[in-house]
Amino acid sequence: MSAENLKKEAAEAALDYVKSGMKLGLGTGSTANYFIKALGKKVANGFDILCVPTSIASQELAKSLNIPLTTLDATSKLDLVVDGADELDEALNLIKGGGGALLREKIVAAASSQMIVIADDSKLVNHLGAFPLPVEVVPFGAGATIEMMKQAIKNAASSGAIRLRNNVDGTPFVTDGGHYIYDCALGQILNPKQLAQNLNLIPGVVEHGLFIGLSKVAILATATGIKKIEIL
Ligand code: 5RP
């Protein structure tokens, strides 16, 4: 089965967790898009739901499908967010931000009672880090922030190249919040919790793509069916 079919399967399996009347966070990325499209079909059949998107892209997709939307200003607590991931381990530590939406994704996840990760099983790894860790940085003083990030990474016993994420035309990629993304190619993140704490202390770092303790359920589509990881 193709990776796209697996993403779609995982996304559709997550619909079982979505109950009528819920306030729901909508993730970002290709897997989350399958979920939003499947939800759109339910909404077209009269399903009652109110959603907060994690990016302008997801907002546009949800709008096009007539999914009722709100904001965290109007609705500060959500029942559930369903989102993809770039990597996850068995403890449900995640790397997110491959699509550049990690800040809104983390804000929405923190405002949700539950986060369900949807992915094809290629995203499941023994150790996080093969996927470069995205870090969202304020453009002002970015050079100084990068030096502090290098030290923070070293202090968490990791190392690797840090690269500014660019668009295809070579201009810096700018997030929905107006920030840069630096991708940190660390190979293996030995101590995700320590690294997350170290990066959080840097003033110019807005957020990083390590999601730790935010999700207790992952729905992974494999060639032989759906695999669930649940942390009790
Ligand atoms: C966007 C994300 C996505 O969830 C992550 O990049 C996975 O995307 P995809 O489902 O397209 O593989 O974190 O910021």
Mind listing the domains of the chain with CATH numbers?
Answer: 3-124+212-230 (3.40.50.1360), 133-208 (3.30.70.260)
Dihedral, 53, 56, 60, 66 alpha carbons, nearest 10: 20
Whether residue 124 contacts residue 89, with contact meaning beta carbons closer than 8 Å, is answered with yes
Question: What is the bridge-based pairing of β-strands 180-185 and 161-164?
Answer: antiparallel
Q: Which residues are catalytic?
A: 105
Residue 1: pLDDT band by 50, 70, 90 thresholds? confident
Tokens 């993304």 sit on residue: 181
Q: Which atom of ligand 1 is nearest to the CA of 27?
A: 4
The predicted structure's pLDDT at residue 196:
98
* Paired residues of 149 in beta bridges: none
Pocket test for ligand 1, best of 6, 8, 26, 28 (most atoms within 8 A of CB): 28
Ligand 1 neighbours by CB, cut-off 6 Å: 27-32, 83-86, 96-102, 105
Distant-in-sequence, close-in-space partners of 213: CB < 8 Å, separation ≥ 6: none
The predicted structure's pLDDT at residue 189:
97
Cβ atoms < 10 Å from Cβ of 156: 20
Sign of CA dihedral 11, 17, 19, 24: negative
How many angstroms does the Cα of residue 30 sit away from the middle of ligand 1?
7
Model pLDDT for residues 125-175, shown as the tens digit of each residue? 999 999 999 999 999 999 999 999 999 999 999 999 999 999 999 999 999
How many angstroms does the Cα of residue 28 sit away from the middle of ligand 1?
6
